Chain A
Amino acid sequence: MKKLFAVALGVLSAIGGFVDIGDLVTNALVGSRFGMSLAWVVLVGVLGIVVFAEMSGRVVAASGRPTFDIVRERFGPKVGLLNLGGSMAVTLLTYIAEIGGIALSLELATSVHELLWIPVTAAAVWIVLWRAKFALLENVFGLLGLALIVFAVALWQLGPDWSELATSAATMDKPASEEWSTYAYFAVALFGAAMTPYEVFFFSSGGVEEKWDRSSVATMRSNVFIGFPLGGLLSLAIAGVATVTLMPEGIEVETLGQVGLPVAIALGKIGFAIAILGFFAATFGAACETGLSLGYSIAQYFGWQWGKFVRPREAARFHLVILLATILAAVVLLTTIDPILVTEFSVVFSAVALPLTYLPILMVANDRGYMGPLTNGRLSNTLGTIYMVIVLVASIAAVPLMIWTKMGTS
């Protein structure tokens, strides 16, 4: 019974914790401009994160060490540093976007300008990362993030023509007013949002925090195989409500308020309030995950003590990295840069950095020396190889498409 409860809690947290500011904004924006014609990218992205999260979970279960600790040992400090530099730059960008997302959620709830919330939110995130226990911050924000189910309820309440939505998704055809280059740009951005690198850093190091071993593989797989796809359905629901309500009105999503507008149309004030709670939980949870990921990866590379399973005093440099990253995030946001713009950059550069994150995982998961009986099987390797090709194409295409389409505005 206790194990069943742990599995259920893990699955629910995985669903609620799947969506972050990048998913919220990108899915709503794409839904408002392209309808459901890019839904296939969400499916491809979710399957990709499932494949690689399961792989990195197995690495932890087999070795008791986080994936990128092994990457450094297996590939040496130079390759490790390249991996660390690229991945951490993107994770820092995501961290800034998530803290900005919390401030935007609070602005929607209070009408107080987001700039005034930035110092408060940054301080709150840091205090939670410093003081709260790992299980608490993982489960509380994951469960509160389930408030985003309100988007699925709103879609059902709006009573759309389901066959029309399905046809739009199946035909993958862009609206006549959009260019194919813009379609490709948003496909890459959606893919980057679904496969954000920090998700595997957090998943892998979190497994060590929770002391996974070979007996934990079944629980880990249930979280990944059930929780992530259901989280992906939330992404599709966000795109779906935008397709049904915003697209016909010519509203193109540029703010978090516009992301929530369809919920107010479908469910009124209470629904909108629940959506704001979901925004807050999703961005706060993701800020904690990205902040920890920065500390985890840097501390693991340099061989420092890390993690929430030891007292802050014993992992002082790990906590110092998180503190400095939080201060930097607040300073960047206080320059009045638009957090939504940071989010758009973060999902595109996530796509650029994907090979740096996923190639080492694929290689380590094939190393019998570390993995023993949990080494990749034929299915994992086939999927992993196919995804490496997709990831490479997305990575190479991301920046040229961003410049060519002026970040999707042309």
Chain B
Amino acid sequence: MRLRLAALVGALFITSSCVAASPDADTYGDAAASSLGTAVSEVATVRTLLELLDSGDIPRPAVVAQLRYSEDALTKASQGLGSLNPPPEQDALSDESGRLLDEAGSLLQEARIAVHRGEKAEYRTIVKDLDDLGARLEKLEASAS
């Protein structure tokens, strides 16, 4: 009897783990704010790295290594939020955060390629774009939480 009960609980646990979570509006808002906060942090990190690299104030290997981590962190944050089923009243937040997180992913990718190729002329354009994106991410984060 105990064995069957344990098997049933185990099966329910495994099944529920495989189903995407459907949080309420507040919980979804908190999750979005957390993912956007990670994006703000990584976008600001990469912007600072590019500025320092442009002025020759940081060794290139350290920038390459940190870019890798920033991209990974952003991907995880984006996937984490994307795996949730947003409640209908949070559709606008879901769409906007998804769009901004995608944009952040593309910009970080651009930054990595520019650093790999040593395209110094690109750094300032990317820094400006990251600055602009950072402000929009912060604004959305503040409204989500």
Contact = CB atoms under 8 A, between A and B. Distances in A.
Interface of A: 107-111, 113, 177, 249-252, 254-255, 257-258, 260-261, 264-265, 268-269, 272-273, 276, 409-410
Contacts of B90: none
A33 to B, nearest CB: 10
Interface residues on B, range: 20 to 34
Interface of B: 30, 34, 37-38, 40-41, 44-45, 48-49, 52, 56-62, 64-66, 68-69, 73, 134, 138, 145
Given A108-B62, A111-B65, A257-B66, A409 B57 contact: no
User: Interface majority SS on B: helix, strand, loop or mixed?
Assistant: helix
A252 B40 CA distance: 9
A269 B58 contact: yes
Contacts, number: 71
Contact of B57 (A111, A177, A255, A265): A265
A176 to B, nearest CB: 11
Contacts of A261: 45, 48-49, 52, 66
Given A250-B41, A409-B34, A410-B30, A258 B58 contact: no
B61 A109 contact: yes
A265 B65 contact: no
A182 to B, nearest CB: 12
A107 B67 CA distance: 12
A276 B62 contact: yes
B41 A260 contact: no
B123 to A, nearest CB: 15
Contact of A258 (B38, B45, B61, B68): B45
Residue of A177, A249, A260 contacting most chain B CB atoms (<10 Å) = A249
A148 B66 CA distance: 20
Residue of A113, A249, A264, A276 contacting most chain B CB atoms (<10 Å) = A264
Contacts of A260: 62
B138 A258 contact: no
A272 B60 contact: no
B73 A254 contact: yes
A109 B65 CA distance: 9
Given A255-B66, A257-B69, A265 B48 contact: yes
24 contacts: A107-B65, A108-B62, A108-B66, A109-B62, A111-B60, A111-B61, A111-B64, A250-B37, A250-B40, A250-B134, A251-B45, A252-B38, A257-B66, A257-B69, A260-B62, A261-B48, A264-B62, A265-B48, A269-B57, A272-B57, A272-B58, A272-B59, A272-B62, A410-B34
